[in-house]
Amino acid sequence: MIIKGVCHVHSIHSYDGRVSLSKIKELFLKNGLQFVCMTEHTDWMTEDKVRSFIEECQKLSDDNFLIIPGFEFSYGKSHILMIGSDKFISQGDEKSTLLKWAEKTGFVVLAHPHKNNYKIDETVKSLIDAVEVWNSQYDGKYAPRFRSFGLLKKLQKEKRFEAFAGLDFHREEHLGGPILFVNVNTFSNFAILNAIKTGDYTFGKKEVIFSSKGEIQEGNLKKLYVQSFFSIKLISFSKQINKIFVSIGLSFPKKLKQKIRAKI
């Protein structure tokens, strides 16, 4: 059976998250989703905080909705998603710490590669299983960032790498990006994670669907390129306007900001 969910999601367990896990469950259920792969920032995390987070994920999971724990690790300018990780390793951004986190994680993803100008060192390359080619926080909700596909294709010449998509959700207005359609035999964390690890999923929204290999299955590529171009420009423009407001000691109207981000 095919079930729907989203990945790269942050709650108030992350230092910059604004939505509780219970509210995330409520919002996503209303939008027809059945699971979420959380990716809480490891910054400021402790063993006790991770234990509390894991316990809350388990408590809120039921026969209708599953909350799968996971983390986002910062390594230099690269951000790495540890999908399905349920153990605290340690803080820090050293190579040795990254290796320990990845060792305990079944599916490792390079997040929003454009933020590091598509640079990837040999350590990261050796650890990741996938590239996040569509991050709706930075790429927009309607089309992926095609330069990220370029990086993926380059990596795929060396070994198997999957294409991945995430919301980078921190606030309610971030809902609405690409969905993962995962093929499972049973409704469980294990089945979902196993399907993701083996590439038994597609991702997208409405009539825009990509395979886990990064090949388009539904949608018009020319239209998507145009949508991608304008989405990225609008997001960049809105960020620049916000910086201008901050530089002159003003605050960009919160409701207007929320409306803009809810649309793009």
Lowest mean pLDDT among 145-159, 197-211, 222-236: 222-236
**What pLDDT is recorded for position 93?**
81
Question: What's CA 155's distance to the chain center, in Å?
Answer: 20
Q: Tokens at residue 114, please?
A: 């454009």
Query: Cα(232)–Cα(194) distance, rounded to whole angstroms?
Result: 33
Query: Cα(264)–Cα(260) distance, rounded to whole angstroms?
Result: 6
Q: What is the mean pLDDT of residues 179-187?
A: 98
| Cα atoms found within 13 Å of the Cα of residue 67, Cβ hemisphere only | 27
**What pLDDT is recorded for position 52?**
96
Q: What is the mean pLDDT of residues 88-112?
A: 91
- What is the average pLDDT score of the chain? 93
Coil, strand or helix at 225: helix
pLDDT cut 70: percent of the chain above it: 98
**What pLDDT is recorded for position 108?**
98
* Residue with the larger pLDDT of the pair 239 and 200: 200
- Span 133-143, pLDDT tens digits: 999 999 999 99
pLDDT confidence band for 125 (50 / 70 / 90): very high
Report the CATH architecture of 2-219: Alpha-Beta Barrel (3.20)
Q: Tokens at residue 169, please?
A: 């959700």
Where do the domains of the chain lie?
A: 2-219, 224-263
Cβ neighbour number for residue 30 with a 10 Å cutoff: 9
pLDDT cut 90: percent of the chain above it: 82
- Span 24-42, pLDDT tens digits: 999 999 999 999 999 999 9
- Span 206-260, pLDDT tens digits: 889 999 999 999 999 999 999 999 999 988 888 887 787 777 876 767 777 777 7
